[in-house]
Structure 1
Amino acid sequence: MFLILVYDVNEKRVNKVLKTCRKYLYWVQNSVLEGEISEAKFEKLKMELNKIIDKEEDSIIFYILRTTKYSERETMGIKKGGEDTIF
């Protein structure tokens, strides 16, 4: 599946959230990551993030696309992230 992850977390937890997400997805721009991920890795990612975030203060949104066949991405301006190596 293809996943787009968007997060808004307290600055105390931003680095931990980003580091965790980059193990599974590509960083696109501030607070946005995307990439192909298996169901098992997606569940593992959610479990790891659940241990980091404060559910009363933070927010993470997952956009799950079963296929990218009908999707397209267009960038305007500078390219901030990309398909660099996942850590």
Structure 2
Amino acid sequence: MRLALNIVMAHRIARGLTLERARITAIRELLEERVLLALQETDDSAMPLNWSWQQAAERLSTQVALAIVHEQKNEPPAPHEGSSAL
């Protein structure tokens, strides 16, 4: 999950999106929720013998992170500190 959150954070930094603690916490919770939902929908009895839920979680988290990045494309940049409203 750490790599997935790093992907989202790198995108937010590159785009100048807000890095407020509450927003980042909400994103982390969304990422975790989506990965858990995907794993719950997985029928591990239908998976090959070498299937690993840990590897599945890593791959799912990366895919979910990319989906979140895509969803953030329309999010406006954070206002710069010290800028005045006109």
- TM-score between both structures, scaled by the size of structure 1: 0.30
Kindly name which structure, 1 or 2, has the bigger radius of gyration based on alpha carbons.
2
The structure with more helix, counted as a fraction of residues: 2
The structure with more strand, counted as a fraction of residues: 1
- TM-score between both structures, scaled by the size of structure 2: 0.31
